[in-house]
Amino acid sequence: MRTDRLVAVLLLLQRRARVTAAEVARELEVSERTARRDLDALAMAGVPVYSARGRGGGWRLVGGARTDLSGLTAGEVRALFLVAGQASAATPAVKAALRKLVHALPEPFRAQAEAAASSVVTDPHRWGAVRGGHPPPRFLDALQDAVIRGVRVRLGYTDRDGAETERTVDPLGIVVKGPSWYLVAATGAGRRSFRVDRVSSAEETGEPVHRPEGFDLAESWRAITDEVDRERTPVRARAVCAPDGVGVLRLAFGARLDVVGPAADGRVEVVIGGQDERLLAGELAGLVAWVEVTGPPGVREHLAGIGGALVERYRSLPSDSGRRGQFWARSVNRL
């Protein structure tokens, strides 16, 4: 992975007075052409490296042979750790290299580098329909900076109903969920999440953030999403499922499916969330070959109604449909 190599090259420059493309190639087991491209990429990205020609030439970090990387600005350090920090999807090799890099940074930068590494969480599960990509929200950089530097923000915000409010919050972290960005913050009313694209203003107050002791961004976000999912899907249908149908249910319901465990008869107990009993029954009706709903009674009644309506509508079957009916009957009997 190229990110791994770029960090490795940076560490190599930190340890040595100078390096040549041939030395980088040997260290990283790549071609000299690849090594030169990586060195050029560091320079183009703004890392303070330069090349010298002739005898004694090679690549060096600005500031001398054994620099402490003070050529890196605070913004560059934060950007590096935001892109491949501990809370991102970075590979284990990148994370290990970044831990070493933290120790090579000047003291003023270390706290911000470590804060950047834990300030962003990626949640791959989307809410609602899949939408196309969008540019980063207007105030994303300002809010990330406030999280990393630990300063309170006076936040202007427009909620889903269009109401505009202003409040002072303690920024705790940023979450990427599908195409959307969220700010997790402490407020006077407790911990809240804010859609960054609904932020209308973000002004730092200069006051330090009150960060709860032991705060973990990933755990806090899981608690927030669990609560949102409970509000979005208040109905819980209990069911037993044939073992080979659990995968089908996962595809159909995703995070709304909770596998409880094995039932006494060898099937699997599950709980499925939905918006209301009628809609949930409609979703479950096509899965009769795998699932038997045991409750609540309202979902079972809707399923019975759907079954009766299907029988009434398709009572007259074509001659070859009898075999299909027998297949479904055998599938149901298997439950």
What CATH number does the domain containing 187 carry? 2.30.30.530
Mean pLDDT confidence for 69-88? 54
| Domain identity same for 252 and 326 | yes
Task: Kindly indicate the confidence band of residue 229, based on its pLDDT and cuts at 50, 70 and 90.
Answer: confident
Given this model, what pLDDT does residue 161 score?
85
Q: For residue 92, what are the domain limits? A: 2-118
CB burial of residue 147 (10 Å; 0-12, 13-18, 19+): buried
| Domain identity same for 163 and 77 | no
Q: From 118, 152, 167, give the residue that closes a domain.
A: 118
Task: Kindly indicate the confidence band of residue 86, based on its pLDDT and cuts at 50, 70 and 90.
Answer: very low
Residue 312: inside a domain: yes
| Domain identity same for 102 and 161 | no
Which has more pLDDT, 326 or 120?
120
Mean pLDDT confidence for 47-76? 61
Residue 304: inside a domain: yes
CB 308: neighbour CB atoms within 10 A? 10
Given this model, what pLDDT does residue 70 score?
46
Residue 132: inside a domain: no
Residue 267 to residues 241, 259, 282, 285, Cα–Cα distance (Å): 6, 11, 22, 19
CA distance 110 to 43: 22
CA distance 13 to 48: 11
Given this model, what pLDDT does residue 169 score?
94
Domain tally, the chain:
3
Q: From 151, 185, 215, give the residue that closes a domain.
A: 215
Mean pLDDT, the chain, whole residue set: 77
| Domain identity same for 178 and 78 | no
pLDDT at 129 over 50: no
| Domain identity same for 97 and 188 | no
| Domain identity same for 45 and 145 | no
Given this model, what pLDDT does residue 149 score?
81
Residue 220: inside a domain: no
Strand (E) or helix (H) holding 35: helix 32-44
DSSP states of 69-87: STTS-HHHHHHHHHHS-TT
Residue 89: inside a domain: yes
pLDDT at 318 over 90: no
Q: Are 240 and 269 in contact (CB under 8 A)?
A: yes
| Domain identity same for 50 and 88 | yes
| Domain identity same for 211 and 237 | no
- The region that residue 257 occupies, defined by phi over 0 for left and psi between -120 and 50 for alpha, beta otherwise, is beta
For residue 9, the domain's CATH number is 1.10.10
Q: For residue 310, what are its two tokens?
A: 């299907």
CA 75 to chain centre: 23
Given this model, what pLDDT does residue 113 score?
57
